[in-house]
Structure 1
């Protein structure tokens, strides 16, 4: 029987209505975008008449999710950065020095005094005063080695220790270097993502490329320079013991010491120990605030490990100055007045509210583990993005119109049913893109155009099959029913293979390729739904009402 049960009809109409409701905000893109931005600003900064007016421009009971526009449609900034992963080796070995020193000090009666000496950045070198006990010293240092935390380096240790004459050298193993490179890249990608997300940009593309490069594309941002300023700042906060201060920038610090300029005191330079007491990696929170004099400041809080180090140092060095260093500049050098437990404090300096807010964002997002070199940068203006949208709109309209005319001329009334289903198909596709928060790019528009062309394939198969069944002198009801049944396997097979290709493109591709695969894959799902269920529902409803004795497809 040519019939569809009531619950199936209800479910089909619910799916159609839901998809169209979620697609509707894209028809009022600017209004809904302002509504969403105003809601976010009210939550962070408070309500104003202008923001409340923007919120009221779109009903709160309506969905407000939009299809995000990619870099090529909205304009924005594109950067390709190379991460200097080798810098992390020196920091890693420098951080091991206190542990190595303390371990050898416990055996001072056997190895004598210990002194660190200058060496290459990727080598930790130290001299012992009793080289005749070198074997014992090597045994102590090698005991500090840890397993490499990676699957490929399973069973390997993180350091290799060697001794010659009275000098002990410590290096990272190749397995540990590979694991460190991988961790550095992952950490850099995550920190860049946090920093970009903090400023509220929509759907940035931040992904690793090759061994040491990161691709960064942020739609809607003003320029590549603005993006570089946001992510290029290391925001490395460290706390160093102060050795002295000088006005001579050319003065050479002592061994294992550094000299940094002061921000608050022009012409003043602080000499301090190179190894910090606490680093920004142990920060868990940083918020803009005000000091006791009402000046903008940044309050911070350490994790338990950092709080313990900070508290122990302040307890043992009351009356001594210590420097708060941000990106190799001393922003404050207070004298420790008392023990500071709890691991919290405040940073003051010559900055305003905006600078304190940006500093808090950078500290909260974390410090980049290594410096970056920008190999490629581009700024795409919104005018170029609008040109792309216009070109995509024209291509879609031409493809859409051509398909509508072809179906109407080829299949008459049944072609009109297919055309209505095709219009609903596009609406459902945009509804799905909005629901999952997908980003639409220029290749994505190409995927939509391809979907429009492919959407009628299933209907063509069904209608041609109905024509064949009508030639066997079966009644129209039976011909329609058999047409849908016998065409189903061909429809499913053809669309499954294309859907598998879209999944492969999404899995292995990046950037524009993924944008194309998303619209293609979702378009296949909506096309199959409208062809198998929606078009058939229209035909059944028409047939139940007219009860024709003969039909012509």
Structure 2
């Protein structure tokens, strides 16, 4: 006999109510979005509770406020494909290696004689020694700086290749170290780009590695590709250099291992600096926007332990000498060291606005990009196109839904009505799950929902057809309904499990739009099986208990 225990009924309706509660905020998308943005602004300290009180009050706080995030093709936004110039890292590694090479060769001065760095390709370090006979000792000394490559593919290899050509010792990165460096550079670039985008507060960006040296960025809700490029493309490389000279254009020339950089505020002023910096942005532990003693916008920074120690020693040895704070090859300021600075913190002041100081703090806090990024492809998708996509998706879903509803009623009568009720609950549960897990809905995702609408009734068709067969042989309608569900269950599980496996494969192997389709398809399979086996059956049992029909027609 048909019988569903009370606890089972409560559990089924509880799951349905919970899923629909999470789906409900999507019916009031703009209002809930303003509510969430207001709360986020207060938590981040960007606005006071009074400023956003109206937006926050637009949605009750006791109700769920999670929304389905709209993808780039629905919300509009920016699409960029960038290539990381990993060769820049090779040059920085060689430049940073020179002080250590000089020190180890000085220890062998009796053998190698004088030591001078020579002009060389960016990815190589050339050092000339006075007697060519000392090349073997020089190479052996420099090789002590080499360490094992820290990657699985470079097991057993060393980081440096050292060779000699006459009286010149040439130092380069080994092939295994170059491959490991490329991988680290891409990983670091991905993390920094993700941090910068997250700091701006965009919703559900797509940031992923493509190939060996490319990064794909899709950021919904941002104004244009140019805006995204300004945020991502800024290297924000902060360095501190000793100043060796200052003057106007034509009066300052760079010597060996020196740089000539312009003042950021005064176009006519140039600074001559030592090329190797004392500190870099990697020595920063934090950066926050603030105001200087004159009330003008500035950026307060704090150094990590090693950076604070290095800067303390430098300032102690250079009291009375100027040093330059350089950002992206422009001198922000060049103060004179009046006394040792050992506090580990400082301030960057200049011609900032509140917005620019906040943006600089974000870039410094996220870290400097290890290498320059070249943008190979860029697209801006306007919100109008996204609105058209949403409208087209709504029309497709409505047409598919109406066709299915009419077919089910025409084919199965009252039982078709029960299946249609379950179908509408099924769509609500899909959106509830998408909201609960914070998934992003794309146009292919809408296609997955439309496909789910058609697939959702497949289980009911199997059950109803099985009930029809059982009505010819079973003793009474109650037994026929019970047998129909029992005998159709295995076929339902088989069909949906194989489809779910396909959805998992699509998600694992695919990317972007394919994943969006796989997510909605997989969630739709779960909800359709639940509604077909449990919700539809519960509706039929409730109807049967009230009417007690002697005969049913399916």
Q: TM-score, normalised by structure 2?
A: 0.98
Match of 2:8 in 1: 8
Displacement after TM superposition at 1:293 (Å): 1.7
1:11-90 equivalent positions in 2, closer than 5 A: 11-43=11-43, 44-47=45-48, 49-90=50-91
Displacement after TM superposition at 1:252 (Å): 3.6
Match of 2:106 in 1: 105
Is the CA contact (8 Å cut-off) linking 1:249 and 1:269 kept in structure 2?
no
Is the CA contact (8 Å cut-off) linking 1:160 and 1:173 kept in structure 2?
yes
Q: Does 1:248 align with 2:285?
A: no
Is the CA contact (8 Å cut-off) linking 1:476 and 1:549 kept in structure 2?
yes
Q: Does 1:387 align with 2:388?
A: yes
Stretch moving more, 430-439 or 156-165: 156-165
Distance 2:313 2:548 in 1: 90
Distance 1:62 1:264 in 2: 52
What SS does structure 2 have at the residue aligned with 1:45?
Answer: coil
Displacement after TM superposition at 1:227 (Å): 0.8
Distance 1:249 1:422 in 2: 78
What SS does structure 1 have at the residue aligned with 2:218?
Answer: strand
Distance 1:334 1:399 in 2: 70
Distance 1:472 1:214 in 2: 64
Is the CA contact (8 Å cut-off) linking 2:245 and 2:252 kept in structure 1?
no
Q: Does 1:373 align with 2:380?
A: no
Displacement after TM superposition at 1:322 (Å): 0.8
Match of 2:340 in 1: 339
Q: Once the two structures are superposed, what CA deviation does each residue of 1:388-434 show, in whole Å capped at 9, x if it has no partner?
A: 11000000000000111111111111111110000000000000000
Is the CA contact (8 Å cut-off) linking 2:252 and 2:272 kept in structure 1?
no
Distance 2:493 2:302 in 1: 58
Match of 1:469 in 2: 470
Distance 1:246 1:124 in 2: 31
Displacement after TM superposition at 1:474 (Å): 2.8
1:58-207 equivalent positions in 2, closer than 5 A: 58-207=59-208
Sort the Cα spacing of 1:417 and 1:250 in 2 relative to 1 into closer, same or farther, 3 A: farther
Distance 1:143 1:468 in 2: 84
Distance 1:258 1:356 in 2: 26
1:198-217 equivalent positions in 2, closer than 5 A: 198-217=199-218
> What count of residue pairs does the alignment treat as equivalent?
553
Distance 1:275 1:406 in 2: 76
Displacement after TM superposition at 1:522 (Å): 0.6
Q: After TM superposition, which residue ranges in structure 1, 4 or more long, deviate above 4 angstroms?
A: none
Stretch moving more, 240-249 or 114-123: 240-249
Q: Does 1:492 align with 2:503?
A: no
Q: Once the two structures are superposed, what CA deviation does each residue of 1:188-228 show, in whole Å capped at 9, x if it has no partner?
A: 11111111111111111111111111111111111111111
Distance 1:480 1:455 in 2: 19
Displacement after TM superposition at 1:353 (Å): 1.2
Displacement after TM superposition at 1:249 (Å): 5.2
1:307-346 equivalent positions in 2, closer than 5 A: 307-346=308-347
Displacement after TM superposition at 1:250 (Å): 8.0
Distance 2:250 2:198 in 1: 39
Distance 1:265 1:334 in 2: 15
Which stretches in structure 1 are left out of the alignment for 5+ residues?
A: none
Distance 1:339 1:436 in 2: 53
Distance 1:332 1:467 in 2: 86
Q: Once the two structures are superposed, what CA deviation does each residue of 1:457-501 show, in whole Å capped at 9, x if it has no partner?
A: 111111111111111143211111111111111111111111111
Sort the Cα spacing of 1:465 and 1:320 in 2 relative to 1 into closer, same or farther, 3 A: same
Sort the Cα spacing of 1:130 and 1:20 in 2 relative to 1 into closer, same or farther, 3 A: same
Displacement after TM superposition at 1:541 (Å): 1.3
Which stretches in structure 2 are left out of the alignment for 5+ residues?
A: none
Distance 2:475 2:170 in 1: 91
Distance 2:469 2:158 in 1: 73
Displacement after TM superposition at 1:48 (Å): 5.6
What SS does structure 1 have at the residue aligned with 2:60?
Answer: coil
What SS does structure 1 have at the residue aligned with 2:148?
Answer: coil
Displacement after TM superposition at 1:294 (Å): 1.4
Distance 2:224 2:533 in 1: 47
Q: RMSD value over aligned CA atoms?
A: 1.2
Distance 1:328 1:473 in 2: 86
Is the CA contact (8 Å cut-off) linking 1:260 and 1:269 kept in structure 2?
yes
Match of 1:405 in 2: 406
Distance 1:532 1:274 in 2: 72
Displacement after TM superposition at 1:521 (Å): 0.6
Distance 1:257 1:179 in 2: 30
Q: Once the two structures are superposed, what CA deviation does each residue of 1:502-537 show, in whole Å capped at 9, x if it has no partner?
A: 111111111111111111111111111101111111
